[in-house]
Structure 1
Amino acid sequence: MSVLGFNRYGKAEVRVVHVSRGTGPDGGDQIKDWNVSSSLSGDLAATHLTGDNANVLATDTQKNTAYAFAKKLGGVEPEAFAIALAEHFVGTQEPITRARLSIEEYPWTSLPGGPHSFSRTGGVVRTTTVLHDEQLGTSVIGGLKELVVLNTTNSEFFGFPKDPYTTLSETKDRMLATQVSATWRFRGTEVEWADAYATATASLLDAFATTYSYSLQQTLYAMGERILADVPEICEVRLALPNKHHFLVDLEPFDLTNDNEVYYAADRPYGLIEGYVLADDAPDAGIAWT
């Protein structure tokens, strides 16, 4: 005999681009470029077990709602948009008891040549996830991904265990590079979202730049610790840091010395360092990461 377990459904990767006309610092336009995914759960057993769709809000409707809310709410921050959309789905669909909204935001920079011209800056992607449960309330997760950072020096790695399979040499001077994926949990929903994101990002970057690193694990903790110190609205930071290895090229066959100048970048295999950093008074995570 089988039993239906946890389930949810939704519309993935709805591309929404909103232009706020004439609201920029110099009277130009502003752009919000989003990838929006919604997922709903609740009393949905019948559709799985019998094909009865009476409680199933069509995923196409979820897509259309995202577009309509983009018009209604204007150029708000992604956290505010996700909260409003999640509350709408739970509040208007009686069978739906939980909504999960995820947003990726892609950055654009205005060009000095005109108020309506932009360039995609690429690189870092801002991320937002909101979970709204009619019983448990709302949890907000912010963050970023695809942020590539590098220190040309001020990094060491030594003192690690050696066994018969160890070939890695200890080093007191290495290049340290990683592609940061970071998520942070907010204590509540009364937050200046744009300021919190800007400060958290700046704090993360400053910690990476100013920490003399003896391991990427040490750098991870420094980054999370700095975010918690600088943004009190955040109570937990989760980081995933792949070690983007750079190895010195052997130039001796060409009668040349390599004084930490010429490297080759190896894309795989790579070390993957992951960890959570929590404030000592962080509330229980509840539904935040589900």
Structure 2
Amino acid sequence: MPVVLGPNRYGKAETRLVRVVRDGGVHHIKDVTVSTALSGQMDDVHLTGDNAAVLPTDTQKNTVYAFARKHGVAEIEDFAILLARHFVESQPTIHHARVEIEEYFWDRIPAGADPAPGAEERQHSFVRSGREVRTCAVHHDRDGTTTVVSGLTDLVVLNSTGSEFSGFIQDEYTTLRPTKDRVLATAVTARWRHLSAASPYRESYGEVRRCLLGAFAETHSLSLQQTLYAMGERVLNTREEVCEVRLAMPNKHHFPVDLTPFGLDNPNEVFYAADRPYGLIEGTVLRDDAPAARFAWE
């Protein structure tokens, strides 16, 4: 039976990079994790061990650090595009590059009620934010095609009311009771595809995040699937630079605790927050005229 080499790629995963910009006494931090993956003329390295076509993963890591110094790290999408295009355009054996970046937010530690002299001017102390993680994935091909997918993960949200779940299939194994009032909580992972590699990434990220939060808060939910669609629809109706939204939303179950053994009622005030198992709702919302995705998102 003949055996052939299938699709393949290689790269340097999770290069940690912290870039500090010193603007006088005011410092700015960019904290990111960069993963690169390259593919191209890689038959020989797999079949015979000939490394002539291989750009070492250590070189990929060093390129990340060198580019951070030479070009800075502003919007993570722009930095990922810069890296992806460099790898493809500088190496004839590399035909496709994928660069994925995660960004972690930091907040300044405010000066106290009676700050020490000069504390406000230094502005170099930070605390890790409790916010979500910002993400992006950029693909660049030798024919010049660039695809940009922005996103976020671990955006934890909760509605303490305004959510129902009833009318579902019930069989001999069903024990879940229908409810007209439940806690709806999830940790949103969202990714959205840009129509162009020249999107206004900073503005776009903030506005997409605002749309996601607004739709979650304002939708009277009959199911988490309905909420997912409303969130994606809000983004597409608001941001013309986005053509597709993919969402993954685990149902972080909150079960009312039975307090009757203690002679107490529980009018949906005391809950057990279960971490597992959990329902996982995933879906894609896209414009009906959206161009087909050129590259796999994963």
For the 8 Å contact 1:141–1:288, the answer to whether it is kept is no
Q: Following the alignment from structure 1 to structure 2, what is the Cα–Cα distance between the partners of residues 133 and 119?
A: 39
Contact 1:131 / 1:288 at 8 angstroms: preserved in 2?
no
How far apart are the structure 2 equivalents of 1:288 and 1:130?
A: 11
Q: Does 1:163 align with 2:159?
A: no
**1:128-207 matched pairs, under 5 angstroms:** 128-135=136-143, 137-207=145-215
Q: Does structure 2 conserve the Cα–Cα contact (< 8 Å) formed by 1:136 and 1:287?
A: no
1:79-118 aligned at under 5 Å gives the runs 79-113=77-111, 114=120, 115-118=123-126
Following TM superposition, by how much is the alpha carbon of 1:20 offset from its aligned partner in structure 2, in angstroms? 1.7
Output one character per residue of 1:191-248: Cα deviation in whole Å (capped at 9) or x when no partner. Answer: 1111100100111011101110000000000110111122110100000111000000
1:267 corresponds to which residue? 275
Match of 1:239 among 247, 252, 255: 247
Aligned counterpart, 1:285: 293
Number of equivalences: 287
Shift of 1:36: 0.2
How much has 1:288 moved relative to structure 2?
5.0
The answer to whether the Cα contact below 8 Å between 1:43 and 1:95 also exists between their aligned partners in 2 is yes
Pairwise CA RMSD: 1.2
Q: Which amino acid aligns with 1:42?
A: G
**TM-score, normalising length: structure 2:** 0.94
Q: Distance between the aligned counterparts of 1:158 and 1:151, measured in 2?
A: 17
1-structure distance, mates of 2:86, 2:130: 32
- TM-aligned CA deviation for residue 259 of structure 1: 0.9
* Alpha-carbon distance between aligned partners in 2 of 1:214 and 1:208, rounded to the nearest angstrom: 12
CA distance in 2, matches of 1:76, 1:269: 39
Distance 1:288 1:165 in 2: 38
The 8 Å contact of residues 243 and 272 in structure 1, kept in 2 or not, is answered as yes
Matches for 1:39-118 after TM superposition, within 5 Å? 39-113=37-111, 114=120, 115-118=123-126
Residue 102 of structure 2 aligns with an amino acid whose one-letter code is E
Q: Distance in 1 between matches of 2:270 and 2:130?
A: 26
- Deviation, 1:135, is 2.1
Match among 31, 34, 41 for residue 33 of structure 1: 31
SS at match of 1:229: helix
Kept after mapping to 2: 8 A contact 1:9/1:40: yes
Q: Structure 1: which 5+ residue stretches go unaligned?
A: none
Q: Aligned pair 1:20/2:21, yes or no?
A: yes
Distance between the aligned counterparts of 2:194 and 2:135, measured in 1?
A: 13
3-state DSSP class of the match of 2:220?
Answer: coil
Unaligned runs of 5+ in 2: 112-119
Instruction: Report the CA distance between 1:280 and its aligned residue.
Output: 2.1
Whether 1:214 aligns to 2:230 is no
After alignment, is 158-167 or 147-156 more displaced?
158-167
**Cα distance, 1:289 vs. partner?**
1.7
User: Equivalents in 2 of 1:31, 1:209: separation in Å?
Assistant: 31
Q: Given that residues 19 and 75 in structure 1 are in contact (C-alpha distance below 8 angstroms), is that contact kept between their aligned partners in structure 2?
A: no
Using the alignment, how far apart are the partners of 1:220 and 1:93 within structure 2?
A: 42
Question: Structure 2 CA distance, aligned partners of 1:111 and 1:97?
Answer: 45
- Please name the residue that 2:117 is paired with: none
Among the aligned pairs, what percent are the same residue? 60
Mapped partners of 1:288, 1:2: distance in 2: 24
SS at match of 2:11: strand
- Residue by residue over 1:8-34, the C-alpha shift from the partner in whole angstroms, topping out at 9 and shown as x without a partner, is 0000000011112228xxx72211100
Structure-2 separation of matches of 1:134 and 1:85: 14
Q: Work out the CA distance in 2 between the residues paired with 1:111 and 1:199.
A: 26
* Poorly superposed stretches of 4+, deviation over 4 Å: none
| One-letter code aligned to 2:263 | D
